[in-house]
Amino acid sequence: ERDLLNARITEMTEELERLQSLSKQGESLHESCGSVMCLYVYLTVKTCPEGWKMFNYICYLLSTESGTWDKAREDCRNRGADLVVIDSEEEEMFLFGLAKKQTWIGLTDREEEGTWKWIDGTPLTLKYWAPNQPDNGGGDSKWGEEDCAQIRDDDNTHWNDLSCEAPLQWFCEK
């Protein structure tokens, strides 16, 4: 058994080296995935911790508690993650499907009003704002400054800006 496992490891290592070489040449790894490499990926791909859900090899957690945006970020960081950064329509739809209530995401304009950035510093390019959002509370003092973004759970309208002090669930990503 040991010899068989060592032989299998050698095969997988050779296949990995071949695919890395192909990658450097610009060929598609997806199209070049041989059975040994697929087995290697299957055996070594990361798994998500209990309670987390995987989508496109990224792990996501919808919190079970509610809190401010800062509490949400602290909780994610304590889990070795951070608030979610949404960078594709597929990811947005996946998260929207998981959101049971209004849910914090890692998007804010705290640094400069109206300039929305993700927590990793990248500027906002894909946008899924609800109609007339973001509105920074529409100038109504009862809402205060709305510098943090959430996924909304009503009528499929996606994002809204909200006071960072509002108690919401959140999405972590790692």
Per the listing, tokens 């205060």 go with 144
pLDDT for 52 beyond 60:
yes
One-letter amino acid identity for 121? G
Q: Write out pLDDT tens, residues 134-172.
A: 988 767 666 668 999 999 866 556 899 999 999 999 999
For the chain, list the domains and their CATH numbers: 2-44 (no CATH), 53-173 (3.10.100.10)
* Radius of gyration (C-alpha) of the chain in whole angstroms: 21
Where in the chain does DSSP place strands (E)?
Answer: 53-55, 58-62, 82-83, 103-108, 117-118, 148-151, 159-162, 169-173
Q: Is the dihedral of CA 98, 114, 121, 147 positive or negative?
A: negative
Contact 141, 45 (CB under 8 A): no
DSSP secondary structure string for all residues of 95-115? HHHH-SS-EEEEEE-SSSTT-
C-alpha distances in angstroms, 122 versus 77, 80, 108, 132, 144?
Answer: 18, 20, 11, 23, 25
Is pTM beyond 0.75 here?
Answer: no
pLDDT band at 4 (very low <50, low <70, confident <90, very high): confident
What proportions of the chain, in percent to the nearest 5, are helix, strand and coil? Answer: 35, 20, 45
Q: Write out pLDDT tens, residues 88-108.
A: 989 988 998 888 789 999 999
